[in-house]
Structure 1
């Protein structure tokens, strides 16, 4: 591995003492390390400590220009291959989420284009505060990655979630990132993957239809990720406003029946099918050819069931890996488990669409993965692109098993 540049950002919490170990281990692993300390962080640990451990520069002041030929915070932002923020306080998370740059750390981060990994550390009540949760969700939608804090006795005396992850885990997250970057991770090379995305529309008359709030973002993210992993990707898409993923064969449909027909035409030749679309379960029993005019009378519309695409795929499954999605508002695991068994799936990805950041149209998602063999895995709240990568990695492992 070529020598990589890591910018370690340390903000003002008692866990700052662990950052010395992180810096030391990164340096010993062969990375070039530079450090930013906030003014508050210097109340817990000194710049000299990091300078000694990393043999690198330590930055504390936006206006201290070490090299007159460059602007320090821009030069530092361009230098970094990866940024680690450990510990990340509620204050720093809030500033980054809202575009505030009022010190060396935050002004540099606003200019960074490299990936950013955040390791939060704070009191359990602070970590669970709605504003902090919202800020982390926003950063997740920007593509920032998070290392979940640990649980236990906190420095403040509380017991709960909020302890900075152990240095070993944080260093490993950097190593894992560079492994991902250095290899194309062609986990699905030469595999044929079909993905459905978006809503369907069931027409009442030429101007009215029933539909749902699905944006198609999760399905399109899966299509992009599968293509990056080397797959031959077919995307069957309901009506959306999203751009066509590069290199993906897109087939546009409107109704559930149209989506069923498009999927069935392709099904036999596919290795993996992921039904991410939110199709209509019911449609009007009668479709009018002309616009229904308003009257003084109530209008009742009789509904009938649409074709169940996923159930049909489960019945016809031969060699394919079949993955379904379950969008629920309560009893998430129970309903997802029922769908897994009832429709003969290999894997179901369930999300609670009533949760902030995990619903239709959001940029982020949090998934519960249930396998047919009983294995369970929770994917934390991350951007939909990252959630797609993690889900496809799980599918790749499933194919191996």
Structure 2
């Protein structure tokens, strides 16, 4: 009987040893925590953001990431809120009138000479404030499930997968991995800006940077925007070679309204992933139940494949790109629409309208494609902005839109 018991125990031990380690997928759970009302919108420096940072530290420890901040996993930074929107933020150690944010940084050390940074911002708008598009009278929590609990959840998923891969592989990857949850993005890319000036690793060792911001609302046509494709010669062919699921919308520029910009500006190749804006953007309706979790898993698979494919290519060459933001026309009025930035047809497709705006009052609808505004033909987002830039408040303009098979001509009053 003792022999039988011993045999069973040994068999159990051996089966445990041979069973392969598998990375856990907690994408939905991570979003649910970060986008919960209890965190009150994770505004930089608030108790809600601090709770989110504690949660991220717990997850980093579960995954097995080493701390790589200046205080364990944290990299705190203090700054004075901007009074002039055209001035750069002032980072300071003076406690008077300052806000303190915390980047949360974990590390996989493979003993390699180069490191890949994988990041996503975890702060959001709190109860709204200046960045909110909500026009309700009562304050409301802006949970930011898509913006950007989604990006953080995919980042954590990649961290788990890469840690398991490198723990179990006979040969480790040729890169180390630095995972960063940025604070202060909504206030002007502050956390990534601070890290770029005060890196916790040798900045010269950073091979490239991957950023995920709003990757939770993949549409039915599986469109995925990837920015920064021109910042290294290998990016385009690698993205194409590993793509089986997505309709890719590529943009070469390394400059954009998210944290990858801070790395591009210190000459690091960048890729930024984005599934598009929507009617809940910067509003209280951006909640966890509205996310496309299968789409997020597919994006994680895709980025994992891209990272794996690039691993044996050594240090990637950096290439400057045209800064499209410098060419953006300035305008004094707006239609009051959410543009569909993933639309690759002719014109500017409307992804949503807001009440009591020129577009809403003119009867424009979600899905309409603006093809003419005033005397200007609209072929894309840039031509739409150029057309808009000539109008002043109080002007009336002719507008032509395509609505399915119909062409509709009407007028808008700015």
The TM-score, its normalising length taken from structure 2, stands at 0.24
The TM-score, its normalising length taken from structure 1, stands at 0.24
Structure ID, larger Rg: 1
Could you say which structure has the greater relative contact order, defined with CA pairs below 8 angstroms and 6 or more residues apart? 2
